Amino acid sequence: MDTRTLFRRNPDLLLEWDDDSGSVLVDSRSGRKFVAKPELVDLLGRLDGPLTADELNARWPHQTDADTTRTLLERLASAGIVRHDDKEDTEPAADGLTPYERACHAGAGRGPLPGTRRGTPPPARLCHPEATGTVPLPDARDLPSRALAEVLSERRSVRDFAAEPVPLMLLAAFLDRSARVRGYLPPRSYEQTQRPAPSGGARHSLEIYLVARDVEQLPPGAYHYDAFDHALHRLSDWNDDLAALQHRTITLPALLNEAPPAGLYLASRADRTGWKYAGMALSMIYRDTGCLLQTMCLTATDLGLASCPTGRMEVPVSAPFLQPYEQRLLHVGNLALGLPDPAATTTAPTPTELPAGA
Ligand SMILES: Cc1cc2nc3c(=O)[nH]c(=O)nc-3n(C[C@H](O)[C@H](O)[C@H](O)COP(=O)(O)O)c2cc1C
List residues near ligand 1 (CB under 6 A). 156-157, 253-255, 293, 308-312, 348
**CATH number of the domain where residue 238 is located:** 3.40.109.10
Same-domain check for residues 90 and 227? no
268 occurs within a structural domain: yes
Interval 77-92: pLDDT, tens: 999 999 998 655 555 5
* Structural domains counted in the chain: 2
- From 63-72, 219-228, 313-322, the region with the lowest mean pLDDT: 63-72
Cα(138) to centroid(ligand 1), Å = 30
Give the residue, by CA position, lying nearest to ligand 1 atom 8: 310
Same-domain check for residues 325 and 201? yes
Residue 51 is classified by DSSP as B
The burial class, CB within 10 Å (0-12 / 13-18 / 19+), for 116 is: middle
Range of the domain at 144: 133-338
Q: Give φ, ψ of 212 to 5 degrees.
A: -100, 110
Same-domain check for residues 212 and 277? yes
- Which atom number of ligand 1 is nearest to the Cα of residue 289? 1
Same-domain check for residues 196 and 285? yes
259 occurs within a structural domain: yes
Same-domain check for residues 69 and 145? no
283 occurs within a structural domain: yes
Cα(130) to centroid(ligand 1), Å = 34
**CATH number of the domain where residue 93 is located:** 3.90.930.60
Interval 213-239: pLDDT, tens: 999 999 999 999 999 999 999 999 999
Same-domain check for residues 213 and 277? yes
Tell me, what's the pLDDT at 93?
64
Which of 41, 76, 97 is at the close of a domain?
97
Same-domain check for residues 237 and 303? yes
Q: Do the Cβ atoms of 33 and 41 come closer than 8 Å?
A: no
Same-domain check for residues 57 and 195? no
Cα dihedral: 127, 250, 313, 287 (round 10)? 80
- Measured CA to CA in angstroms, residue 273 lies from 191, 241, 329 at distances of 11, 30, 12
The burial class, CB within 10 Å (0-12 / 13-18 / 19+), for 190 is: middle
Q: Reply yes or no on whether the pLDDT at 355 is more than 90.
A: no
Same-domain check for residues 159 and 235? yes
Same-domain check for residues 138 and 92? no
Alpha carbon 229 to its chain's center: 27
- Measured CA to CA in angstroms, residue 350 lies from 251, 255, 256 at distances of 22, 17, 18
- Which atom number of ligand 1 is nearest to the Cα of residue 158? 26
The number of residues in the chain equals 358
Cα(253) to centroid(ligand 1), Å = 10
> In testing the pocket of ligand 1, which one of 248, 256, 310 has its CB within 8 Å of the most ligand atoms?
310
Q: Reply yes or no on whether the pLDDT at 346 is more than 80.
A: no
Same-domain check for residues 154 and 64? no
180 CB neighbour count, 10 Å cutoff:
17
> In testing the pocket of ligand 1, which one of 154, 157, 255, 332 has its CB within 8 Å of the most ligand atoms?
157
Which of 97, 122, 147 is at the close of a domain?
97
80 occurs within a structural domain: yes
Residue type at 247 in one-letter notation: H
Q: How far apart are CA 343 and CA 136, in angstroms?
A: 33
Same-domain check for residues 93 and 137? no
117 occurs within a structural domain: no
Say if strands 306-310 and 192-194 run parallel, antiparallel, or are unpaired.
unpaired
